[in-house]
């Protein structure tokens, strides 16, 4: 039988993306429950496969009879409700940070460490959006050459902070076009016409996002002592995270060798011809599934190291798509190819 599924946080940006991707990938569903907090429960309906579904309240009783729950409602909700879902016989894929560093709960990117799902865990943690695309691109290079040191700077889209910042960016862009100063809303500084190396909670001299990327990358790649330097930056883009990456390996690596490895890597699309102005951009990546890699070149600061530019749709592969891929493997459902296809409208 097809599974009975609950989507928790169904009215949010990522929740809506999960529903869209379940529909696109023809995920078999016997029963769908769209769940949210009391702010939305009973007040909204969501369309799925041509019919409208009422939004119910996400509480401990909502999972009775469910086989799978896809959570995208924040860490506090996940900590409160995921154990109740498991107690009801439901497997959980959680998109929050609640379980990402729990050693008993797998943190999974299917292309990288999907074998961790074969034991049928009750709860699976979905990684941070920036970590997912980073590890999809780096894992095949690590397997081939042995990653030993990593530096990166992120260029993260407004949608990574939720719909409110996307709307603020649109409003600020109109304000600037009208000759008015943009007003900071939903973020410490205006985002339009700006780049902001902050906006996440501080953890010492680092941001919470930087700490997450370092810890999660080490865990997913199985490299607990990997040297990583990271700076996270929010940029005036609606959808699509980008990363400038410098990577050093156990042996000298040429760009040609790296490009050959990446061209055969699952989930990766190489876009790399500088003379023809071909390289990944967030605008081109929005609404698509692959992790795009370009600007593959020798790092002039260290012989044998590489510089890369990595881009992906942060709402799709960076969140909802990765969660659905995990669900497919958990439930024994054949996966859909991630080869490039027609763009879809970004889930905003």
| pLDDT tens digits along 77-86 | 999 999 999 9
| Per-residue pLDDT band at 1 (split at 50, 70, 90) | confident
pTM beyond 0.85, yes or no? yes
DSSP tag of 317: I
Does the pLDDT at position 342 exceed 70?
Answer: no
34, 90, 129, 230: which is the annotated catalytic residue? 129
Does the pLDDT at position 205 exceed 80?
Answer: yes
Of the given ranges (224-238, 286-300, 333-347), which has the lowest mean pLDDT? 333-347
Q: Residue 106 has what pLDDT?
A: 98
Does the pLDDT at position 341 exceed 90?
Answer: no
CA distance 94 to 102: 12
Residue with tokens 């729990």: 102
Residue with tokens 């071909």: 278
Active site residue 129: yes
Q: What is the mean pLDDT of the chain?
A: 95
Q: For the chain, which domains are there? A: 4-126+317-330 (3.40.50.720), 131-314 (3.30.360.10)
pLDDT digits (tens, 9 = 90+) for 9-54: 999 999 999 999 999 999 999 999 999 998 888 887 999 999 999 9
Nearest to 18 by CA among 48, 60, 51, 61: 48
Active site residue 241: yes
Q: Is the Cβ–Cβ distance between 168 and 185 less than 8 Å?
A: yes
Between 42 and 251, residue with greater pLDDT: 251
pLDDT digits (tens, 9 = 90+) for 49-106: 999 999 999 999 999 999 999 999 999 999 999 999 999 999 999 999 999 999 999 9
34, 90, 230, 241: which is the annotated catalytic residue? 241
């Amino acid at each position: 039988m097809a599974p009975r599924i609950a989507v928790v946080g169904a009215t949010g940006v990522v929740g809506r993306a999960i529903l869209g991707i379940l529909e696109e990938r023809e995920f078999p569903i016997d029963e769908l429950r769209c769940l949210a907090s009391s702010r939305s429960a009973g007040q909204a309906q969501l369309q799925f496969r041509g019919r409208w579904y009422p939004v119910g309240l996400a509480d401990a009783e909502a999972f009775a009879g469910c086989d799978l729950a896809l959570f995208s409602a924040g860490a506090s909700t996940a900590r409160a409700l995921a154990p109740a879902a498991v107690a009801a016989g439901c497997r959980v894929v959680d998109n929050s940070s609640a379980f990402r560093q729990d050693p008993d709960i797998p943190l999974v990117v299917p292309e990288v460490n999907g074998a961790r799902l074969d034991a049928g865990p009750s709860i699976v943690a979905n990684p941070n959006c920036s970590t997912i695309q980073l590890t999809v691109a780096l894992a095949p290079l690590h397997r081939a050459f042995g990653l030993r040191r990593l530096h990166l700077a992120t260029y993260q889209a407004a949608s990574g902070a939720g719909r409110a910042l996307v709307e603020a960016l649109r409003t600020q862009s109109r304000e600037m076009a009208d000759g008015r100063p943009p007003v900071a809303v939903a973020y410490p500084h205006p985002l339009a016409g700006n780049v902001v190396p902050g906006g996440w909670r501080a953890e010492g001299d680092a941001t919470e996002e930087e700490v997450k990327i370092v810890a999660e990358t080490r865990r997913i790649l199985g490299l607990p002592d990997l040297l990583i330097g990271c700076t996270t930056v929010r940029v005036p883009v609606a959808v699509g995270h980008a990363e400038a990456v410098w990577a050093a390996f156990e042996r000298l690596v040429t760009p040609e060798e790296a490009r050959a490895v990446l061209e055969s890597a699952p989930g990766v699309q190489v876009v790399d011809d500088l003379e023809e102005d071909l390289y990944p951009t967030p605008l081109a990546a929005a609404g698509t599934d692959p992790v795009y890699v370009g600007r593959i070149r020798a790092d002039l600061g260290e012989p044998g190291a590489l510089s890369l530019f990595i881009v992906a749709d942060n709402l799709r592969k960076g969140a909802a798509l990765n969660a659905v891929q995990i669900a497919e493997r958990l439930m024994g459902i054949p996966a859909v190819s991630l080869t490039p296809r027609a763009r879809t409208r970004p889930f905003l």
